[in-house]
Structure 1
């Protein structure tokens, strides 16, 4: 089997992929999926979505196969793609949740006070952000409230851009989960207001 450690020759597989060999992609997938999948699952927390993202990671590798010979650290390359895909998925999930709240809000506001609902939702988000660890909270606020780029945050806090990204991914995952578990309580309270 190509993916057995004693037979796994990553450099040869990357060369074959650069030459459009799909079997080489299969061997790379067999080797990296057991590592990429749990990594994505840790951040995204949705097995079905993680399967799609895992496939997207390898599709990205295939689409950029002509550049693979320039990649000096392929495992780092795979992790970077996976991390970026996870961030995109988390951001998309948060956007979807915001849109759902906006879509539901007009129905609810017809029977209740809109200012109270918005204040309750704002309070819920503030409560979630308040429970973040201090450095993560600071990174999140600089990104969302001051709208600084990752580079600007890294410079201001004297940390690396990757550390900023890590804090943002962790914060977004936490906030998404927090809102999923606590938002229903707010909407129930608002319905009976």
Structure 2
């Protein structure tokens, strides 16, 4: 079941009153949007899932404010963006400015979420096409955040081999995305036009 705007207001009211069933419906409907938004930036499935859980925990904690929210998708998008910025700050040595992911509520469009989801799917397909060693090195680096030394130890290869595997993987991913992004853009535009 999808949520239309009338149902969404009722759902938010029920959540504000403490309905766990209504909250479960909301989570089911909105989970993927936040997940794809998060994974686009953090590049780690487990970290993206943690962000989604944190966002929904915050929604539940602030549930009494939900009936006053005019545009819930934008509200959720901005809340997710703030959690992503926080996760990226923890991951980087240099502080990340709010400008890096700054998106005003008025600038959020549903097709942007679609393009983020499409890009994440495109990357996932490209990763699946990588040779085994390159895929393993790439995933250990991006999904688990391991250093080159840790990856070398894990894969039982030299640090130089790890660098080559990751470099080749990134080059392939860039090429694959550039070739397929035009097709994806056309398909995305078609989807938007037809929906």
Scaled by the length of structure 1, what TM-score is found? 0.49
Scaled by the length of structure 2, what TM-score is found? 0.49
Q: Between Structure 1 and Structure 2, whose CA radius of gyration is higher?
A: 1
